[in-house]
Chains A and B, each alone.
Chain A
Amino acid sequence: MRQDHLITATQLSRPDIEAVLDRAREIDGSREAFEQRYSGSVLALCFFEPSTRTKMSFETAAKRLGAETIDMGSIESSSVKKGESLADTVRVIEGYADALVLRHPSEGSAKMASEFVDVPVINAGDGAGQHPSQTLLDLHTIRERHGLDDLTIGIMGDLKYGRTVHSLASALTNFDATQHFISPESLRLPRSVRFDLHESGAQVREHTELDAVLPELDVLYVTRIQRERFPDENEYHQIAGEYRIDADTLSAADPDLTVMHPLPRVDEIAADVDETSHARYFEQAHNGVPVRMALLDMLLGGDAA
């Protein structure tokens, strides 16, 4: 199946995912074989929201492939502040670049952008919607350690607004995975995501506490609960505290448990977890480069997954 854009994880089939991850593995093994492959190509990084690691890892991936990157500078100094529509912005930038990476605060922004341009659009986060390139690197991390079938994963934290969660949950329906969702009631998965999981026949359970399910897990994927989701500061502190893990929490876990986090973390994973064999979140972040190199290779090279 050929695809021109990467907008949502729901568009990805199992062969699509495996093709990207196989390519990432290949790149990991022989990075020099891919260097300069896209010399002369230009990747536009259109970030309408702050980003450190997603932007830097796309930039690194492009540069390791020999491509140049351009960006919009700060939003404050750009034409967006003058009231330009996203549709106009991407139509202009399309003329400068061979592919666009877009992060935007509105859900559906990447989908809309893709309707206005002919170059590939990669959704690098659309509001509380999707973040499919993050999912590919998450899956790469899981696959290299556990494989993607016969997997039991717990996904914990802000499941309502967490775009990495929405994309990961959707992509995992392609595999034989049991998904446990652990969150406060007010931050459970949105209806649209639950609907898709149900439609796909996924094995899904929802919980408000980690304790009971922790020993079963192969992977625990932790996300940040943001202060701004709660009108009341005390309520935030009380609820966020219940979804915080430390080395002591993990004493009840399987010794092979992998703990992941899309980062940045604040204090939902205590620093003492970093020293345990469970911690894989920095490795996960590093995987952003080979996976995004693979993704760019497939979209720019025209043999898209």
Chain B
Amino acid sequence: MSPDRELRVSKIRNGTVIDHITGGQSLNVLAILGIDGSEEFSLSIGMNVPSDRLGRKDILKVEGRELSQSEVDVLSLIAPEATINIVRDYEVVEKNRVERPTEVVGVLSCPNRNCISNDDEPVETRFAVMDDGVRCDYCSEILRDRIAEHIDV
């Protein structure tokens, strides 16, 4: 990262940096992670930052919170290139890629309006992750495009 880009988002002492998020998806990433700004920790968001690899990318720095691998794996659906850096005392101590989970629970709403998971029932939505999309465990509907539009957390 060039010094020029470093200036856009300041360094954090302890926490998580999610880098190489697909441009424009950082707010959806925050929604998936359940972060809405009401928390104690500070948060930096860089959107549409120039990137050699992605053209433009988003970057998130979450101060004071370490995100677990399972927490971030679901991000792979909307930000497959994302990298997760765990920072302690200004040093990156762990660097991971997101991995596709086998299922995502309670994150997406089913695009089939007639699916039981959209009724007022005490169940979380559950989707199996396929090679090129996700599939509702209840009604079998397949969701391939615009997955981010169905994030409901």
A residues with CB within 8 A of B: 8, 10, 85-87, 104-109, 111-112, 115, 126-129, 191-192, 195-196
Closest to A8 in B: B140
Instruction: Tell which of B50-58, B95-103, B113-121 binds the partner.
Output: B113-121
Interface residues on B, range: 10 to 19
9 smallest CB-CB distances across A and B, nearest first, come from: A108-B138, A107-B139, A108-B139, A108-B116, A106-B116, A192-B140, A109-B116, A112-B116, A85-B121
- When the two chains form the complex, which single residue of B120, B122, B135, B139 contacts A129, counting CB atoms closer than 8 Å? B139
Q: Mark B121-153, 1 if CB is under 8 A from A, else 0.
A: 111000000000001111111100000000000
B112 at the interface (CB under 8 A from A): yes
Distance between Cα atoms of A154 and B123 in the complex (Å): 38
Distance between Cα atoms of A111 and B142 in the complex (Å): 17
Question: Cβ of A112 and Cβ of B114 under 8 Å apart?
Answer: no
Distance between Cα atoms of A109 and B114 in the complex (Å): 10
Evaluate whether A106 and B140 lie within 8 angstroms (CB atoms) in the complex, with A86-B121, A87-B121, A115-B123 already known. Answer: no
B3 shortest CB reach to chain A, Å: 49
Q: Give the interface centre of B116, B118, B142 by most chain A CB atoms within 10 Å.
A: B116
Q: A86-B116, A126-B139 are in contact. List 10 more A-B contacts (CB 8 A).
A: A86-B119, A106-B114, A107-B116, A108-B137, A108-B140, A111-B137, A111-B138, A112-B117, A112-B121, A196-B140
Question: Cβ of A112 and Cβ of B123 under 8 Å apart?
Answer: yes
Distance between Cα atoms of A203 and B112 in the complex (Å): 27
Question: Cβ of A107 and Cβ of B142 under 8 Å apart?
Answer: no
Q: Mark B36-58, 1 if CB is under 8 A from A, else 0.
A: 00000000000000000000000
B residues with CB within 8 A of A: 112, 114-123, 135-142
Distance between Cα atoms of A172 and B2 in the complex (Å): 60
Distance between Cα atoms of A124 and B33 in the complex (Å): 39
Evaluate whether A192 and B114 lie within 8 angstroms (CB atoms) in the complex, with A85-B120, A129-B140 already known. Answer: no
Evaluate whether A128 and B119 lie within 8 angstroms (CB atoms) in the complex, with A107-B139, A191-B142, A192-B142 already known. Answer: no
Distance between Cα atoms of A86 and B138 in the complex (Å): 14
A187 shortest CB reach to chain B, Å: 16
Q: List 21 A-B contacts (CB under 8 A).
A: A85-B122, A86-B119, A86-B121, A87-B121, A107-B112, A107-B115, A107-B116, A107-B140, A108-B117, A108-B136, A108-B138, A108-B139, A111-B137, A115-B123, A126-B116, A127-B114, A129-B139, A192-B135, A192-B140, A192-B142, A195-B142
Question: Cβ of A87 and Cβ of B112 under 8 Å apart?
Answer: no
B55 shortest CB reach to chain A, Å: 31
A8 shortest CB reach to chain B, Å: 8
B99 shortest CB reach to chain A, Å: 23
B115 shortest CB reach to chain A, Å: 5
Closest to A88 in B: B122
Task: List, in ascending order, chain A residues with CB within 8 A of B123's CB.
Answer: 87, 112, 115
B132 shortest CB reach to chain A, Å: 11
Task: List, in ascending order, chain B residues with CB within 8 A of A129's CB.
Answer: 139-140
Task: List, in ascending order, chain B residues with CB within 8 A of A115's CB.
Answer: 123
Distance between Cα atoms of A10 and B140 in the complex (Å): 11
Distance between Cα atoms of A188 and B124 in the complex (Å): 30
Distance between Cα atoms of A195 and B122 in the complex (Å): 29
Evaluate whether A105 and B114 lie within 8 angstroms (CB atoms) in the complex, with A87-B123, A192-B135 already known. Answer: yes
Question: Cβ of B120 and Cβ of A106 under 8 Å apart?
Answer: no
Question: Cβ of B142 and Cβ of A112 under 8 Å apart?
Answer: no
Distance between Cα atoms of A97 and B124 in the complex (Å): 27
Distance between Cα atoms of A107 and B116 in the complex (Å): 6
Distance between Cα atoms of A127 and B137 in the complex (Å): 15
A107 shortest CB reach to chain B, Å: 4
Distance between Cα atoms of A196 and B137 in the complex (Å): 14
Task: List, in ascending order, chain A residues with CB within 8 A of B119's CB.
Answer: 85-86, 106
B112 shortest CB reach to chain A, Å: 6
Closest to A130 in B: B140
A5 shortest CB reach to chain B, Å: 14
Task: List, in ascending order, chain B residues with CB within 8 A of A105's CB.
Answer: 114
Closest to A83 in B: B120
- When the two chains form the complex, which single residue of B116, B118, B141 contacts A192, counting CB atoms closer than 8 Å? B141
Closest to A106 in B: B116
